[in-house]
Every structure is written in structure tokens, then in C-alpha cells.
């Protein structure tokens, strides 16, 4: 066994190992929105099934919010079944919270995001009057209103 070859092999391995340690890793894309804290748990008051009507697409959306999962469904206006569009759950669900200070009130907003998602909707809970009754609603930041009861959407 030639010791020069063993020494050369060890020196080459050591050089490559040190080069790998001290070489900066490529910048990875941030999985979360910068500067915002997140959790993987949805707000308790937002849980349940929410329904809304879209004028642009001409159909209905259903959002099912569970403690560690959010699922979105779509149904065309005259279609029979709900079609699952998207689902985020467990470690893939990022829930952001943001307090938006208005003149006299503060809107406690929250958003459901996936990893590396750049844009999405934030929501806040409010009440609306329907036929003289106060009904709890979830409002998107773009203005669409989600209702707990399907009868309020039709």
C-alpha cells in the first residue's frame, strides 16, 4: 500500500469537505410571509363551513375550516356536486394574524396560506343583518361575504 496515495486521498477529501462547509448555501425561498408570525391552528371563531357566491365566476364557494385544516370547494351555479379545489392542513397550513386599526375599531384579520404562497386573502369576522336578524359572517379583504348558512347565500 502506497502511503503517498493514501495521504493524497485524505488531503483531497479534507479539502473538499472544508470547501463544502465554508461555501455559502444557495438562498432558499422563504416559506412564510416576511415579518409576520404564523401558527398552524385556525381561529376558533372562524371554524365551520362558510359559503359565498361569486359574480365574476358565476358559481359558489364553500370553505371548510377545521382546527388544523382548511379546504376550499367550488360549485358551478347549476352543477350538482361540490368540487374540491384546494386543501391545506397540518404543517402545510400557515395561519397569519394581523390587527388592522381603523378609526374607532380594530379588525382582527387572519389569513390562510400555503408554503411559498405570495398572495391570498385575509378575512375578518363581523355581523350582518338579514331579515331583521344579526348573522355572523366572515368577510374577505376583497369584500366578499361568507355565510355559515347556505340559505343566506342562494
Burial of 104 (0-12, 13-18, 19+ CB in 10 A): exposed
Instruction: Answer whether residue 105 is part of any domain.
Output: yes
Instruction: Answer whether residue 7 is part of any domain.
Output: no
Instruction: Answer whether residue 5 is part of any domain.
Output: no
Confidence of residue 31 (pLDDT cuts 50, 70, 90): low
Distance CA 88, CA 116 (A): 13
Instruction: Answer whether residue 60 is part of any domain.
Output: yes
Instruction: Answer whether residue 119 is part of any domain.
Output: yes
pLDDT digit string (tens) for 69-98? 999 999 988 777 999 999 999 988 888 888
Instruction: Answer whether residue 9 is part of any domain.
Output: no
Instruction: Answer whether residue 30 is part of any domain.
Output: no
Look up residue 106 and give its three cell numbers: 380594530
Count of the separate structural domains present in the chain: 1
Instruction: Answer whether residue 132 is part of any domain.
Output: yes
pLDDT of res. 153: 84
Overall pTM surpassing 0.85 (yes/no): no
Domain that residue 93 falls in: 38-152
Amino acid at each position: 500500500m502506497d502511503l503517498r496515495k493514501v495521504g493524497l486521498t485524505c488531503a483531497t477529501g479534507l479539502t473538499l469537505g472544508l470547501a463544502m462547509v465554508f461555501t455559502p448555501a444557495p438562498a432558499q425561498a422563504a416559506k412564510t410571509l416576511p415579518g409576520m408570525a404564523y401558527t398552524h391552528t385556525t381561529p376558533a371563531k372562524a371554524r365551520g363551513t362558510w359559503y359565498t357566491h361569486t359574480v365574476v365566476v358565476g358559481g359558489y364557494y364553500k370553505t371548510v375550516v377545521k382546527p388544523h385544516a382548511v379546504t376550499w370547494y367550488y360549485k358551478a351555479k347549476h352543477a350538482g356536486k361540490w368540487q374540491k379545489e384546494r386543501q391545506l392542513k397540518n404543517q402545510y397550513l400557515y395561519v397569519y394574524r394581523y390587527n388592522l386599526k381603523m378609526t374607532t375599531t380594530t379588525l382582527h384579520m387572519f389569513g390562510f396560506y400555503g408554503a411559498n404562497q405570495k398572495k391570498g386573502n385575509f378575512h375578518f369576522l363581523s355581523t350582518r343583518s338579514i331579515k331583521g336578524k344579526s348573522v355572523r359572517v366572515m368577510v374577505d379583504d376583497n369584500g366578499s361575504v361568507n355565510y355559515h348558512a347556505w340559505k343566506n347565500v342562494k
